[in-house]
Amino acid sequence: MADSPALVAAQEQFRDELIAHGLLIPSGVPGLYGRSHIFEDVIERFDDLITASAKDDKAERIRFPPVINRAHFEHSQYLKSMPQLAGAVHSFAGTPAEHEKLLQLVHEGQDWTGCLKMTDVVLTPAACYPLYPMLAEQAALGPEGRLMDVYSYCFRHEPSPDPARMQIFRMREFVRVAPDPGQVRVWRDLWLERGLGILAAIGLDCSTAPANDQFFGRGGRMLAVNQRDQQLKFEAVYPMTSTERPTALLSFNYHQDHFGTLYGIKSREGAVVHTACVGFGMERVALALFKTHGFHTNAWPTSVRQSLWPSA
Amino acid sequence: MADSPALVAAQEQFRDELIAHGLLIPSGVPGLYGRSHIFEDVIERFDDLITASAKDDKAERIRFPPVINRAHFEHSQYLKSMPQLAGAVHSFAGTPAEHEKLLQLVHEGQDWTGCLKMTDVVLTPAACYPLYPMLAEQAALGPEGRLMDVYSYCFRHEPSPDPARMQIFRMREFVRVAPDPGQVRVWRDLWLERGLGILAAIGLDCSTAPANDQFFGRGGRMLAVNQRDQQLKFEAVYPMTSTERPTALLSFNYHQDHFGTLYGIKSREGAVVHTACVGFGMERVALALFKTHGFHTNAWPTSVRQSLWPSA
| Model confidence pLDDT, tens digit, residues A94-146 | 999 999 999 999 999 999 999 999 999 999 999 999 999 999 999 999 999 99
Cβ <8 Å between B90 and A87 = yes
Pick A2 or A61 by higher pLDDT: A61
Give the end of a domain, one of A96, A123, A150.
A123
Same domain, B245 and B159: yes
Same domain, B262 and B211: yes
Q: What is the DSSP string of B144-199?
A: T-EEEEEEEEEE-----S-TTS-SEEEEEEEEEEES-HHHHHHHHHHHHHHHHHHH
Cβ <8 Å between B99 and A71 = no
> In the predicted model, is pLDDT for residue A1 greater than 80?
no
Q: How far apart are the first and last CA of chain B?
A: 44
| Model confidence pLDDT, tens digit, residues B185-242 | 999 999 999 999 999 999 999 999 999 988 888 788 888 888 888 899 999 999 999 9
Cβ <8 Å between A89 and B87 = yes
In chain A, residues 24-53 whose CB comes closer than 8 Å to chain B: 25-29, 32-37, 39-40
Look at residues A112, A180, A194, A100 and name the one whose alpha carbon lies nearest to residue A145: A180
DSSP annotation of A143 reads T
Give the end of a domain, one of A123, A149, A168.
A123
Q: In chain A, what residues touch B147 (CB-CB under 8 Å)?
A: none
Question: Are B70 and B118 within 8 A, CB to CB?
Answer: yes
Q: What is the DSSP string of A103-117?
A: HHHHHTT---GGG-E
Same domain, B171 and B160: yes
Q: Residue B49 corresponds to which amino acid?
A: L
Domain count, chain A: 2
Same domain, A157 and A234: yes
Distance CA B286, CA B24 (A): 11
Question: Between B63, B79, B92, which is nearest A102 by CB?
Answer: B79
Q: In chain A, what residues touch B120 (CB-CB under 8 Å)?
A: 29, 32, 159
Q: What is the CATH number of the domain that holds B80?
A: 3.30.930.10
Same domain, B95 and B117: yes
**Structural domain range at position A272:** 5-87+125-308
Same domain, A203 and A245: yes
Per-residue pLDDT of chain B in tens (312 residues, 90 and over written 9): 678 999 999 999 999 999 999 999 999 999 999 999 999 999 999 999 999 999 999 999 999 999 999 999 999 999 999 999 999 999 999 999 999 999 999 999 999 999 999 999 999 999 999 999 999 999 999 999 999 999 999 999 999 999 999 999 999 999 999 999 999 999 999 999 999 999 999 999 999 999 998 888 878 888 888 888 889 999 999 999 999 999 999 999 999 999 999 999 999 999 999 999 999 999 999 999 999 999 999 999 999 999 999 987
Same domain, B221 and B145: yes
Distance CA A215, CA A223 (A): 7
Look at residues B268, B286, B247 and name the one whose alpha carbon lies nearest to residue B7: B247
Q: Are strands A233-238 and A207-210 parallel, antiparallel or unpaired?
A: antiparallel
Q: In chain B, what residues touch A65 (CB-CB under 8 Å)?
A: 32-33, 153, 168-169
Cβ <8 Å between B168 and A65 = yes
Same domain, A163 and A282: yes
Q: Residue B144 corresponds to which amino acid?
A: E
Q: In chain B, what residues touch A28 (CB-CB under 8 Å)?
A: 69, 71-72, 133
At A134 the pLDDT is 98
B64: nearest CA in chain A? A34
Look at residues A309, A17, A1, A310 and name the one whose alpha carbon lies nearest to residue A161: A17
Cβ <8 Å between A64 and B35 = yes
DSSP annotation of B80 reads H
Distance CA A46, CA A280 (A): 10
What is the ipTM metric for this complex?
A: 0.96
Residues 6+ apart with CB under 8 A from B233: B210, B211, B212, B213, B227, B251, B252, B253, B254
Same domain, A112 and A219: no
Same domain, B198 and B282: yes
Model's pTM, two decimal places?
Answer: 0.97
Same domain, A229 and A157: yes
Asked if A246 is an interface residue toward chain B (Cβ–Cβ < 8 A), one would say no
Q: In chain A, what residues touch B114 (CB-CB under 8 Å)?
A: none
Same domain, B303 and B242: yes
Q: How far is the alpha carbon of B202 from chain A, nearest alpha carbon, in Å?
A: 23
Sheet with B24-26, edge to edge strand ranges: A207-210, A233-238, A247-256, A274-281, A168-178, A146-155, A60-63, B33-36, B24-26
